[in-house]
Every structure is written in C-alpha cells, then in structure tokens.
C-alpha cells in the first residue's frame, strides 16, 4: 500500500486508480509481452484474460478535499488460487505465464519507479495523457460489457473514459456516464 496526501477533490484523487493501473501494466510488461496485458475499468489488470492484479483506493479528509489517500495494490506474482467460486475473472499469476517467480522486492522496485513516472505525468500534464495510456490498453473497448451499480445494471458498448475517468457506456437508451460500478464481460 501507498499512502499519499493529495489535498485535492475526490474526482482527482480517484484518478490515482488509473495511475496505479498504468504503472502496474508497465511493471508487468517488464516480465511478459505487453500485448498479453489489459486493464479492466476501473481497477484491475488482466493477463491473458485472467486477473493478475487489483487496486483499491481508500480516502479520508475533512471538507471538500481528500487529505489522505491509500492505494492498495495486490499482484499475483508467484501464485494465484485455482477454482475460485464466483470469480468474475479467473485469477492468474505472473509465474503461471512466465514459468518463473519474480521476487517481491524486485517487482516492487520496478513498480515504484513506474508509479513515480506515471504520477509525475499526472501532476505535470494532467489526466488526459493518463486517460489516453489507460484507454490504449483497455479490456473490451468498443465491445459490449455490463456495469452493475448498487441500484442498476446497464449493458452496452464500452466507449472509454470521460475527462474524470468515469465509464462511458452506450446503451440502447443512450449514453451513460458511470462513476462507480462492477464491470462484467
């Protein structure tokens, strides 16, 4: 986990999920062909269609800004559980694909450097470049997906991200902008 003090609005703090996803994909691409990696909105990295990594953000603050942001990252380097009931995406490990186990410390060094580079880009250039990088590796872009919120389920064509990182979904009833949901395909 990484703890930050961004002192920014929640919508900007949430963009760190995409920073982490891009950094994770870059770090994993050090060990496997980058074409085997995709990013599932908003917080998973897939390897050959299986879930190799996930990201969880937790925030706190007073007033309108996020003062403290914890970015939790889990990566299946050497092991992934088999036969997980109700898993949307079968877990996979880096070792399952490469046949080798990368030491945690080695991977963490690569990930930290990649995270610093992507975070620097966000701070200096804004979210547009991060959004473009994330979208270039998005799973199921232009294809039908299902987004389930706590109240509704929407199925439509995944069109990408808006300027804040919200999911853009073209449904039979029109375009939906979805800030939070579980995505299935």
pLDDT at 4 over 90: yes
Using CA atoms, how far apart are residues 112 and 90, in angstroms rounded to an integer? 26
**Mean pLDDT in residue range 45-70:** 95
Look up the pTM and report it. 0.94
The CATH number of whichever domain residue 82 belongs to comes to 3.30.930.10
Average pLDDT of the chain, as a whole number: 96
Regarding whether 125 and 34 lie in a shared domain, the answer is yes
User: Quick check: 1 pLDDT over 80?
Assistant: yes
105 and 49 in a common domain: yes
Contact between residue 11 and residue 69 where contact means Cβ atoms under 8 Å apart: no
Whether 148 and 132 map to the same domain: the answer is no
- Tell me the per-residue pLDDT of 110-154, one tens digit each, with 9 for 90 and over: 999 999 999 999 999 999 999 999 999 999 999 999 999 999 999
């Amino acid at each position: 986990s990484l703890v930050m003090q961004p002192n920014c609005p929640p919508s900007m703090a949430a963009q760190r999920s995409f920073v982490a996803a891009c950094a994770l994909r870059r770090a994993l691409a050090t060990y496997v062909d980058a074409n085997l990696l995709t990013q599932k909105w908003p917080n998973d990295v897939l390897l050959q269609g299986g879930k190799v990594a996930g990201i969880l953000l937790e925030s706190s603050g007073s007033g309108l800004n996020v003062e403290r942001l914890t970015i939790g990252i889990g990566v299946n380097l050497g092991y992934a559980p088999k036969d997980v009931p109700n898993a949307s995406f079968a877990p996979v490990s880096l070792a399952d694909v490469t046949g080798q186990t990368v030491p945690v410390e080695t991977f963490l060094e690569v990930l930290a450097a990649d995270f610093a580079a992507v975070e620097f880009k966000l701070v200096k250039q804004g979210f547009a470049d991060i959004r473009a990088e994330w979208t270039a590796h998005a799973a199921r872009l232009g294809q039908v997906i299902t987004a389930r919120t706590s109240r509704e389920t929407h199925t439509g064509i995944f069109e990408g991200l808006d300027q804040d990182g919200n999911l853009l979904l073209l449904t039979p009833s029109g375009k939906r902008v979805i800030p939070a949901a579980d995505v299935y395909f």
